[in-house]
Amino acid sequence: MDTVTHAFAGSVLARTTSDQTETRLALLVGGLAAVVPDLDFLFFSTRLDYLRDHRSWTHSFLVMPFLALAIALVTKIFARRARLARLWLFAAIGIASHILFDWITSFGTMFFTPVSRHRYSLDWVFILDPIFTGIVLAALIAGLVFRRRARTIAIAGSAALFLYIGFCAVLHARALAAWEAMDHAPVGSRVAVLPQFLSPFRWLGLSDEGSALHYAFFDIGPFARGSEGARPPQRLSEVLQSLSDSYPPPRDARIMSLPAAEPSKFLSAARELPDWKIYLAFARFPMETVYPSSDGGAEVIVQDLRFLPWFTGPWERGGNEGFRRQPFVYRARFDAGLHLIDLGFVRDGRR
């Protein structure tokens, strides 16, 4: 979930536990604490550090009590009359809400750090969800306008938020069932459906069968139609039409199959690189591709299909022109003697 929405949600949820005299503190401390976990980026020097460590220490339920205490102690300097226990409660609610609301997205949250670095994700809600944001923002504004009923409004807004999350969970189950019926992946395959931009009814189905990766975009909503002539948007004004055209109902969805990379000395060399191992530990649906070069060397590409946008194919596999949103494409270049020439993220969408 985006950081601003986290702040709104932390404020509203903290307000549900406060009395009339603590309204301002609950809003401020809950909102501030809900932002703090995403400040971990200040400790990252590279994008690879971000993939490895984002949503770890500051997103851990085991670290949360101590982080909440630190926030409460700092807040106590400015709110001397407030009880430390109440400040800790507001901070803990803000941090816990951040962890939970990241859990329902698809990025993966290591909420048992340092005991475990396993990433948990429910895949229920897209990382930018206007309905989610609208619910908490409306509750926050209404509480500020009607202060005497602020706690009641906060409770109602929180209830509406969790009902929406539950609705998304039900849609996720429906989408997963639809994808499994569409793709018929073999037993043991890694299978997931991921929420998509601007609608809880739009999904990306993914299956990793080992020998191939399958994916399809589809819409399980009552108004899904799609279009065989779907085109990538060339300008911002075309995004909504492109979205509508690119997500057909499951019966009309086109399943794309991407064969796994053939074994090669270059692929083996890439997989031995420490940075490559970090990327593969982060990726849930990694796709590796080897491009031989004329001098006998090769370029090896890895990307996580979780981040595949609706308007283009995988990087350099027939992707269309237009808007591009493939932020985590990683590349290693080798010469004929397997010496590493270059290593890092692809900075644009073209080779």
- Report pLDDT digits (tens) over 268-299: 999 999 999 999 999 999 999 999 999 999 99
Residue 350 lies in a domain: no
The strand ranges marked E within 161-238 are: 190-196, 199-208, 212-219
Q: pLDDT at residue 20 above 80?
A: no
Q: Mention every residue, 6+ apart, whose C-beta is less than 8 A from residue 240.
A: 198
Share above pLDDT 70 across residues of the chain, in percent, rounded to a whole number: 96
Report how far residue 101's alpha carbon sits from residue 275's, in angstroms, rounded to the nearest whole number: 29
Looking at the structure, tell me whether residues 239 and 334 fall in a common domain: no
Contacts of 43 (CB under 8 A, 6+ apart): 49, 53
User: Is the domain of 35 the same as that of 158?
Assistant: yes
What's the structural domain count of the chain? 3
| Shared-domain flag, residues 50 and 130 | yes
What pTM did the predictor assign?
0.90
- For residues 287 and 212, membership in a common domain is answered with no
**More confident: 316 or 233:** 233
What is the average per-residue pLDDT within 303-318?
A: 81
Domain end position, chosen among 207, 232, 258: 258
In this predicted structure, the answer to whether residue 322 has a pLDDT above a threshold of 80 is no
115 and 62 Cβ atoms separated by less than 8 Å: yes
* Under 8 Å between Cβ of 63 and 113: yes
Whole-number Å distance between alpha carbons of 325 and 327? 6
Q: Is residue 98 part of a domain?
A: yes
Predicted pLDDT at 313: 77
Cα distances (angstroms) measured from residue 342 to each of 50, 98, 266, 335, 348:
20, 37, 13, 10, 16
Give, for 333, the enclosing helix (H) or strand (E).
Answer: strand 329-334
Find out whether 273 and 340 touch, Cβ atoms under 8 Å.
Answer: yes
Q: How far apart are CA 298 and CA 265, in angstroms?
A: 10
Q: Is 106 within the bounds of a domain? A: yes
User: Kindly report the CA angle at 127 between 302 and 215, in degrees rounded to 5?
Assistant: 45
124-157, pLDDT tens digit by residue?
Answer: 999 999 999 999 999 999 998 988 888 999 999 9
325 in the same domain as 178:
no
Q: Do 147 and 211 have their domain in common? A: no
Q: What's the whole-number average pLDDT of the chain? A: 91
Q: Give the residue from 168, 184, 214 where a domain finishes.
A: 168
Is residue 119 situated within a structural domain? yes
Query: Final residue of a domain: which of 168, 186, 204?
Result: 168
Give mean pLDDT, residues 73-93.
93
Strand order in the sheet with 286-292: 286-292, 298-304, 329-334, 340-345
pLDDT band for position 11 (cuts 50, 70, 90): very high
The residue segments making up the domain with residue 269 are: 261-345
Using the predicted structure, report yes or no on whether residue 333 has a pLDDT greater than 70.
yes
What is residue 311's predicted lDDT score, i.e. its pLDDT? 83
In which element (H, E) is residue 308 found? none
pLDDT band at residue 348 using 50, 70 and 90 as cut-offs: low
Instruction: Indicate whether 351 belongs to any domain.
Output: no
Pick the more confident residue, 229 or 295.
Answer: 295
Beta bridge pairs of residue 345: 330
Shared domain check, 298 and 202: no
Q: CB atoms < 10 A from the CB of 316, how many?
A: 16
> Are both 7 and 125 inside the same structural domain?
yes
Task: Quickly state the pLDDT bin for 310 (edges 50, 70, 90).
Answer: confident
| Pair (219, 271) in one structural domain | no
